A = this chain, B = another copy of it.
Amino acid sequence: MTSELGPTKRTKISRGKSHAQSDRAILAQVLGEGLIAHVGYQAGSHPVVLPMAYAFDLNGPDIDGTLYLHGSVAAMMLRHPQERQLCATITLLDGLVAARSGFEHSMNYRTAVIIGSARLVTSESERLLALDLIVDQMIPGRATTLRPATRKELSATAVIALPLHEASVKISADGPEEDEPSDIAAGTWGGHIPLRFRADAVVTDTANDAEVPSHIVERVTHLS
């Protein structure tokens, strides 16, 4: 894996270059914190963008590592993936920037954009690993506490892989930076509202009387 994000023409950031990041560690950080990817593909004459769970493996078999997506074998996006170009975008919304003019309003965010041709994962060991990684992306440490997937479950599930090679990361942070001196002098308030995902109290399903396991407690604590 290269340590720098070497953008191809397709992932070169043309707007807001000052926010572009070139460190692969930043990509791993954004992917590590995210929970859903918005995945786009062309469906005939129009694009479709759908939210999907994902996982990633920096040591995966694709160039610069692997992003994994999964779904029903019947899902259109996952059929014949090698014939499709996909774009998977993971956005962490970090805040609202209330500048002193409408024009300067913006948001704070960290966004990773990954473009590539998807590979249908066929090796059983890689499929099992990817499915465990997807569970652990949601709740670290949970996959190992669950029974293995059954044949029936595996045959109903498609797993696809996207190389992390063609990736870009853009970050915007802090408060308003380019307010006009006249807007500042006019006394308009400016600032920003930090935002983050937080967990509310866990809801235990009552079908049995199992106790809340430690990996769930840790997940909630991490998100509190």
Contacts and interface: CB of A to CB of B under 8 A. Distances in A.
Interface in A49-70: 49-51, 53
Nearest to A38: B38
Contacts of A212: 189, 191
Contacts of A147: 101, 183, 186, 188
A163 interface: no
Which label, helix, strand, loop or mixed, suits the secondary structure of the A interface? mixed
Interface in A73-113: 74-76, 85-89, 91, 93, 96, 98, 100-103, 105-107, 109, 111, 113
Contact of A96 (B87, B115, B139, B213): B139
Contacts of A135: 102, 105
A15 B98 contact: no
A93 B197 contact: yes
Contact of A192 (B76, B93, B202, B208): B202
A6 interface: no
Given A147-B188, A193-B219, 16 more contacts: A10-B43, A10-B46, A15-B75, A50-B113, A53-B106, A102-B135, A102-B146, A188-B208, A189-B212, A190-B205, A191-B203, A192-B202, A193-B216, A195-B200, A195-B223, A196-B198
9 contacts: A14-B74, A40-B47, A40-B87, A103-B150, A103-B156, A147-B186, A191-B203, A193-B200, A194-B201
